[in-house]
A and B are shown apart, each in its own frame.
Chain A
């Protein structure tokens, strides 16, 4: 079957026969994994390791030619190239062809918005564009609901937005698994992906072993801010800066070289394979097993089902043809927005949405609430040298040391402020987009010259690119039923299919934390010698979509089939061979960079499934 439209009406027609990695001879598959990123790559690894045959469908292209060849890793197509990534979107989908719509008000008409979480799409997934930060969740993160309710019950005067008498305004729940269940998987994925870290964060929960590698070279700006944090008082003591764990080699490890701190990290693919992204670790292991076939430029558009069982997936290949692929079971790992969208694009025989007996599919969409406080250092802080972030603090996550208990903070009465880990960052020092401006925000036209001699002087000064220091808090974002993904009623993608409509507005829960921690964040910057300290307004105040690339929820994991979509084993409550293993299963968002947890959860799900 051909779609009405063929991609290649230009001079050349694309031949999809070349869009395959791994064992081309395989024709029968135990599992089909949709998405080759953090969740999909990890699942493909665990399933093939257990002897299963796996078909992986990846919507994006392949920056890793020869990834399936044995021997040393081949050269990648990634390079230190701002234009390719930042402006020409080598890794990100183009909104013109693959739009999404956005609204803050569930009763308003959503409008096309090219900033709605444009996670990169390519073999190996979105994480290849990240700087690969890998904190774990803590004990308390899995039981926020019961812990906060317990604190409210035992602390006179304590009220927390979204809890207690206000619990109807949010949709917090405990995870069906705990830190103890996940710890062995955390330890394993830290080895698989190659994590550097220093075991120096007092707020992290206990670990069964040290990080596989020590931290790499500290960045000047990281040391500057760490020193300032140690001189900043919070709740009667100094703050506790720590090395930021990251899946970036600081030694020769797993056949990949140590990172050289080239500076093109967050937002770029790694030219040297020093980043432990799925393509060069788990996915490659799966491809080398002989039991995996990966088809790229292959966009899943529907799951063929009888309501309780999936028999096949229909996808569009690189020539625009639709293809049917069968397997015994299916795993969704297309990222929360697209995994949920695929359920909506897969009607059941009775006209319902696949897997949606609970009515929860697409709901509880969470982005981390990112609070950015910035200032200008008088000296050049050369953010272009390093891994983007080498240090941070976890004091503002709002937990007691050890991460086992929610902290009650005394500040004119008892409070609970569950913020998140803070990254010590800066402009990356790259000029094309004046990324310092991107870190702050775009000024309205007319406030500063945008061309001419004065503009050139400001660029030579590196006014933004060399002087802007930034603290970014990855604050916990409350799950809400009204924050959701569904299908837009009118807007279509290049395949003629309805696009994801995102409805999102922050909850007073995260805004309260933001307001509480902002003054302390400002103090850290001031103590580091920064001037003109300011808070970047959150995007929704400016009428924009969240720029956070941490997208979670939509296929919530829970033990109650009435209030969640998948169980602790990742299987849809109401579909016997459909699983989710990406960020969509997160019950709550926590306050930590999420990808290591996606790895650990996917590994746990796939291991259970394979045995």
Chain B
């Protein structure tokens, strides 16, 4: 019950932190300054095929497109918001060192305040987002990488157009007009050998980028613009940032650590322990099973080729 009360308090604190957004520096506010409405609609549809909605939210509902737009516009604000601040998000309370129980005191949300990047960090991120020429990167750094590095803003604009053009070429309809299953088929085809070409300098296709960024937008800290209300974390059964509470709470009174019964450190998860105390693992889906099987099988194959996996 107390745990419930604390969860409620953590929630209220989060709400309070969200309500405070309006009073925060410009770098922390939502930004709609890059994509056109049709571009955003196409991107949103793509994100939602990467992590599709089902009983749990898809990437769009989790805010992945907002996350991506915030990344691409990070230099529209000063300081840029490449790195969230620290140490705490305010989602979890401090432990009470006297009792080894959670206290009722929550830190403020420092994740909302971007860290001023160092000169080299800023130069890199300008090159990454705006392109190396616009960032003023020394030409030799480009030359030894095979040419100028194109910025993510350009790659997104062109990549979204390429996906939409592929849809138009295939059946005369925009990507957003296709059914989800038609969208899946098209993305699979674009991800194949005759699909979207990799960027010659980065070696990545647009889908490589958008898949990676969509996952970031679903599972990174909510302060980056996605993972709305931490629902990405809830979906995969993890707790997200846990400081300053953590999982082991030291008590000065007992001179010993206490664990949190709902989130144990040294014992199995409570939902995988049967009434008689024996282990009752939840089975994987066939999809999870396949991932494990393929990794194990591929490693076994390499080990057969190269004994011990090294030569």
Contact = CB atoms under 8 A, between A and B. Distances in A.
Given A451-B187, A454-B287, A461-B287, A80 B243 contact: yes
Given A75-B86, A81-B84, A456-B51, A511 B311 contact: yes
Contacts of A318: 118-119
B44 to A, nearest CB: 15
Contact of A260 (B85, B246, B292): B246
B246 A451 contact: no
B144 A297 contact: no
Given A379-B268, A511-B311, A535-B299, A80 B293 contact: no
A65 to B, nearest CB: 10
Interface stretch (A47-55, A164-172, A426-434): A426-434
A20 to B, nearest CB: 14
Given A258-B250, A492-B141, A532 B115 contact: no
A251 B97 CA distance: 10
B3 interface: no
Contact of A263 (B123, B244, B247, B272): B247
A10 B135 contact: yes
Contact of A7 (B120, B219, B252): B120
Contacts of B86: 63, 75-79, 81, 269, 271
A84 B265 contact: no
B19 to A, nearest CB: 21
A79 B89 contact: yes
Contact of B78 (A7, A11, A97, A378): A11
Interface residues of B, number: 110
B56 interface: yes
B87 interface: yes
A440 B295 contact: yes
B303 A534 contact: yes
Contact of B216 (A9, A432, A467): A432
A537 B302 contact: yes
Q: Which of A260, A430, A533: most chain B CB closer than 10 A?
A: A260
B310 A506 contact: yes
Contacts of B123: 7-8, 10, 97, 494
A401 B93 CA distance: 45
A223 B265 CA distance: 10
B290 interface: yes
A450 interface: yes
A11 B239 CA distance: 39
A373 to B, nearest CB: 9
Given A11-B78, A83-B224, A262 B246 contact: yes
Nearest to B119: A7
B135 A9 contact: yes
Given A77-B115, A431-B236, A432-B215, A511 B310 contact: yes
Interface stretch (B23-31, B35-43, B154-162, B278-286): B278-286
Chain A contact-residue range equals 35 or more
A79 B109 CA distance: 11
Contacts of A272: 87, 243-244
Contacts of B97: 252, 257
Interface in A234-288: 250-252, 257-264, 269, 271-272
Contacts of A4: 138
Interface string B88-110: 11000001010000000000001
B61 to A, nearest CB: 13
A264 B241 contact: yes
Contact of A465 (B87, B214, B236, B309): B236
B178 interface: no
Interface string B263-307: 111111100100000010110111111111111101110110011
Interface in A62-85: 63, 75-84
A466 B87 CA distance: 26
A266 to B, nearest CB: 15
Contacts of B245: 260
B58 to A, nearest CB: 8
B281 A378 contact: yes
Given A216-B248, A260-B244, A456-B52, A61 B84 contact: no
B238 interface: yes
B222 to A, nearest CB: 11
B50 A452 contact: yes
A7 B187 CA distance: 39
B49 A380 contact: no
Given A536-B309, A540-B310, A260 B287 contact: no
Interface stretch (A88-96, A322-330, A341-349, A560-568): A88-96
Given A5-B138, A431-B238, A61 B118 contact: yes
B11 interface: no
A110 B139 CA distance: 20
Contacts of A61: 117-118, 121
A447 B294 contact: yes
A463 B88 contact: no
A462 B243 contact: no
B153 interface: no
Interface in B118-148: 118-124, 126-128, 132, 135-138, 140-141, 144-145
Nearest to A369: B310
B266 A463 contact: no
A335 B246 CA distance: 32
Interface string A437-480: 10011011001111111111111111111110000000000000
Interface string A199-242: 00000000000000000111110010000000000000000000
B120 A79 contact: no
Contact of A490 (B144, B236, B284): B144
A40 interface: no
B257 interface: yes
B240 A94 contact: no
Interface of B: 49-52, 54, 56, 75, 78, 82-89, 95, 97, 110-111, 115, 117-124, 126-128, 132, 135-138, 140-141, 144-145, 149, 184, 187, 191, 211-212, 214-216, 219-221, 224, 232-233, 235-250, 252, 257, 259, 263-269, 272, 279, 281-282, 284-296, 298-300, 302-303, 306-311
Closest 5 CB pairs of A and B: A260-B246, A461-B288, A80-B241, A79-B86, A271-B87
26 contacts: A8-B122, A77-B83, A77-B87, A78-B87, A79-B85, A81-B220, A82-B220, A83-B216, A87-B212, A90-B115, A217-B247, A217-B265, A217-B266, A257-B97, A259-B246, A261-B247, A269-B86, A380-B281, A431-B232, A432-B215, A440-B295, A452-B52, A461-B284, A461-B288, A494-B138, A537-B302
